[in-house]
Structure 1
Amino acid sequence: MAHLQSNENRLLIAFCHPDLGLGGAERLIVDAACELASHGNSVDVYTAHYDKNRCFSETLGGSFSVTVCGNWFPRSIFNRMHALCAYVRCVLIAAYIAWTAFRRKRPYDVVFVDQVSAAVPVLRLLTSSKVLFYCHFPDQLLAKRRSRLHSSYRAVLDAVEEYTTGQAHQLLVNSTFTQGVFLKTFRRLKKRGIVPSVFYPAVQLPSDEDAAEVDWEYRLDPDLAGFLHGKRVFLSINRFERKKNLGLAVRAFGVLQNEYGGQAEVSHSVLVLAGGYDKRLAENREHFCEVQELVQRLGLADKVRLVASFSDAQRSALLAAAACVLYTPENEHFGIVPLEAMAAGRPVVACDSGGPKETVVDGTTGFLCPPEPAAFAAAMARLADPEKSADMGRQARFHVQKTFSRAAFGRKLNDVVHKLART
């Protein structure tokens, strides 16, 4: 529902995002754009890559525009220097935003930047807009130092990241965990008294949850629907990247079958590993094969299915079919999947570190476990009981509705950008 506000209070807002695909960061951008537009603001999203066949449905003819710019610059150079290329691409996006505002003779009131802070000083130099930077996690902590030369290269980028992050008019982070990491990482900013505010992402509560429970099989391809029919389904939703620790879900399922297979519900259980898969990315292609090989090695091929990418409707169908959702990354800075699962009335089994400790209520909306197959398997065995999983699922949905609803997120974000625009 649109929130009417006078033209005087209507803001022009731009988003600067590197790649508008199907990840958690992209989900936040789409939610933020939708909510700000629903409050009567004019919203434009600028990105270096956007594929209409691999995107969230709200971006297709929705309440905000999507403009692709800077995509002519490569994502890597000989499969190297991904971070530097991302910096350049986002600088190009920022320059295009400034050029667009100049042509329109009306600057954006606020520009929302996330993931790549290199765009921030460009926007400050070329526009009069207030710049908000949303930090999902310091990029320098996500990069492995492969050699002395690479360490030197990263040292320059790390310095640039800290400097450019500090240039934003306002800083937000996605969790208390990330806030703590931010302050430990960006020590110069901490000395300057710069402390980012915690602003949790949110999820839209499914309006058709009951319908999804009934017709989920019709939303999936017949082969997958047949594989899931009549089974207790354990579901993992994550990109096919090594840091997502998908092997933990496979090994835990193997322990579940070996140790708890005498339980009727366990013996009729299956595991689905569904996730973002971008054929442009070598790691996605390689890790998909690695997970397949692990499944074969553990003798689980008849009980485990890998699903590479899916639509919003298919995601809803998989959640409707699931008994619970497994979330395996360690020290995840936030993690939108646990919220999506709980919003759909599904309990979550997650690692007891990072963002899930702030979203999953252990023993009530799911279980927080050490990142060990035996611990995950024990939690999965408890949730194989239909009554137990249904009860925890109801509590999970109520928890999200009370604390992480998109409506509350939208109201708060609208207040933040209006306050920022007035300063």
Structure 2
Amino acid sequence: MPAPRSHPRTALVHEWISARAGAEQVFEVLAGQFPHADLHALSCEPGVDLDLAGRTVRTTALDALRGHRALALPLMAPAWWAHARDVRGGYDLVLTSHHAFATSNRLVAPGGTHLAYVHTPARYVWSPELDGRGTSPLLAPARRVLSALDRDAARRLTAVAANSAEVAARVERFWHREAVVIHPPVDVAAFAVPGPDTLDLPAGFLLALGRFVPYKNHLAAIEVGERLGRPVVVAGRGPLAGALRARAATSRVPVLVLDSPTGAVVREVLRRASVLLFPTVEDFGIVPVEAMASGTPVVAPARGGSGETVLDGVSGALVEDLGVPALTAAVARAEACAPGACRERALAFDVPRFQERIRTWVGQHAGGLG
């Protein structure tokens, strides 16, 4: 007769793992908090820098399409259903990190607990105006079916947590579920420790940091630099890298484009920047918190996650209008903020606080940790 387990059989579930982005960092912290949990993801790109304590991530059949995500989108829910058949038995506790269709997984055992930490309900299903994938010829006809599947999966959840008040409102609007807000974790200590200056960076530069995609609005940061006569550093990776380099070549001020920066480079540019320009509305937005942890003030929208993280006049300047004139005017207000006040604000989102809130939330619904 097998010995009884000292902890419930637990699974941590994520969407696809393709980069060390904010959602993946949440998954990493959860993996550390649930050391006995099995790890599952829709797909997993080899070589992504995540500390999962040597555990293997079990993937679905869509791992074969990880380089063709647009083709995979309509197939995600069925892939999760099929994946459950490959797992022997069910789990007592399933904690799902969700921003697409991960809550469609059917890994929980009868009578078990399925909790979802939601980065956003799938934008391309519910808010195609925010994500162009939802208007593609392949996906648009399927949106009605996908939204019904998504809402049905949400109905089956034991409880929901959202990464911001913005996302909690979206969960209520689209899923008709109440969500507690638990802000994502940021390793404040990693950004607060001074490191060596290894890069040849211009003095007093403005920083734009994030994926090189249209909605990040990096071109606006270059225009702000031109209006103020200030150098600009743009760091990230993505399909617009070439367009940003072309724009930098014609700029009236020095513009340095750092493509695919390492973690050390990201920490250095955050620490040495005069201001982080974050001209995009995000569900949460981990980069402004990393900037504040580095002692760097932020210019960001008053809407979305940055309206919850950045304290106007204390750790940065919030703007209602994301036009270049408003962003330009906000730079001086942000630069007046003290580095110490920025770091103090970032502590509200430190990893231990996230872990304590997750521990309490899971305990309320599952009677303890996995």
Q: Please classify the TM superposition score into its range, dividing by the shorter chain length.
A: 0.7 to 0.9
Q: TM-score, normalised by structure 2?
A: 0.85
237 and 12 in structure 1: CA distance in 2 versus 1, 3 angstrom threshold: farther
Q: Aligned-pair distance for 1:143?
A: 3.9
Unaligned regions of 5+ residues in structure 2, if any?
none
Q: Aligned-pair distance for 1:109?
A: 3.0
Deviations 1:213-237 (A, max 9, x none): xx131xxxxxxx12x0x51132222
344 and 118 in structure 1: CA distance in 2 versus 1, 3 angstrom threshold: closer
Counterpart position of 2:303: 353
Counterpart position of 2:120: 137
CA distance in 1, matches of 2:137, 2:262: 42
Is residue 2:247 matched to residue 1:290? no
Counterpart position of 2:356: 411
Deviations 1:6-25 (A, max 9, x none): x9874553221122222111
Pick aligned residue for 2:234 from 257, 261, 273: 273
Q: Aligned-pair distance for 1:419?
A: 2.9
Q: What amino acid maps onto 1:151 in structure 2?
A: A
Q: Aligned-pair distance for 1:354?
A: 0.7
**CA RMSD between the two structures:** 2.9
Pick aligned residue for 2:208 from 236, 258, 281: 236
CA distance in 2, matches of 1:204, 1:80: 32
- Check the 8 A contact 1:256/1:380 in 2, yes or no: no
Q: Aligned-pair distance for 1:315?
A: 1.8
CA distance in 2, matches of 1:10, 1:233: 51
Q: Aligned-pair distance for 1:178?
A: 1.4
CA distance in 2, matches of 1:340, 1:216: 18
Q: Aligned-pair distance for 1:380?
A: 2.3
Q: Aligned-pair distance for 1:171?
A: 0.9
419 and 150 in structure 1: CA distance in 2 versus 1, 3 angstrom threshold: closer
Deviations 1:272-307 (A, max 9, x none): 1112x3xxxxxx32x22232333334444xx11222
Structure with more helix by fraction:
1
- Check the 8 A contact 1:177/1:354 in 2, yes or no: yes
SS in 1 for 2:64: coil
Is residue 2:98 matched to residue 1:114? yes
Counterpart position of 2:73: 83
- Check the 8 A contact 2:11/2:91 in 1, yes or no: no
Q: What amino acid maps onto 1:404 in structure 2?
A: F
54 and 299 in structure 1: CA distance in 2 versus 1, 3 angstrom threshold: farther
Q: Aligned-pair distance for 1:311?
A: 2.6
Q: What amino acid maps onto 1:319 in structure 2?
A: L
CA distance in 1, matches of 2:138, 2:93: 41
Counterpart position of 2:14: 17
CA distance in 2, matches of 1:147, 1:411: 41
Counterpart position of 1:422: 367
Deviations 1:13-57 (A, max 9, x none): 3221122222111122112222x14xxx4233322444454424x
326 and 151 in structure 1: CA distance in 2 versus 1, 3 angstrom threshold: same
Counterpart position of 1:371: 322
Deviations 1:112-142 (A, max 9, x none): 3422335435224x66642111221221214
- Check the 8 A contact 2:96/2:103 in 1, yes or no: no
Q: What amino acid maps onto 2:169 in structure 1?
A: G
- Check the 8 A contact 2:115/2:160 in 1, yes or no: yes
**Which aligned runs of 4 or more in structure 1 are off by greater than 6 angstroms?**
none
Counterpart position of 1:261: none
- Check the 8 A contact 1:238/1:274 in 2, yes or no: yes
Q: TM-score, normalised by structure 1?
A: 0.75
State the identity %: 22
Deviations 1:71-119 (A, max 9, x none): 5431476x744421444554455555x33xx4xxx84533334223354
SS in 2 for 1:42: coil
Is residue 2:285 matched to residue 1:335? yes
CA distance in 2, matches of 1:148, 1:310: 34
Counterpart position of 1:322: 273
Any residues of structure 2 matched to 1:1-400 within 5 Å, and which? 10-20=7-17, 21-34=19-32, 36-37=33-34, 41-51=35-45, 53-56=47-50, 58-59=51-52, 62=53, 65-70=55-60, 71-75=62-66, 80-91=70-81, 94-96=84-86, 98-99=87-88, 102=89, 107-117=91-101, 119-120=103-104, 122-124=106-108, 129-139=112-122, 140=125, 141=127, 142-144=130-132, 145-146=134-135, 150-186=139-175, 189=176, 194-206=177-189, 209-212=192-195, 215-217=196-198, 225-226=199-200, 228=201, 231-257=203-229, 266=230, 270-275=231-236, 277=237, 284-285=238-239, 287-300=240-253, 303-330=254-281, 332-369=282-319, 370-383=321-334, 388-389=336-337, 391=338, 393-400=339-346
CA distance in 2, matches of 1:381, 1:421: 48
Unaligned regions of 5+ residues in structure 1, if any?
1-6, 218-224, 258-265, 278-283
CA distance in 1, matches of 2:5, 2:138: 53
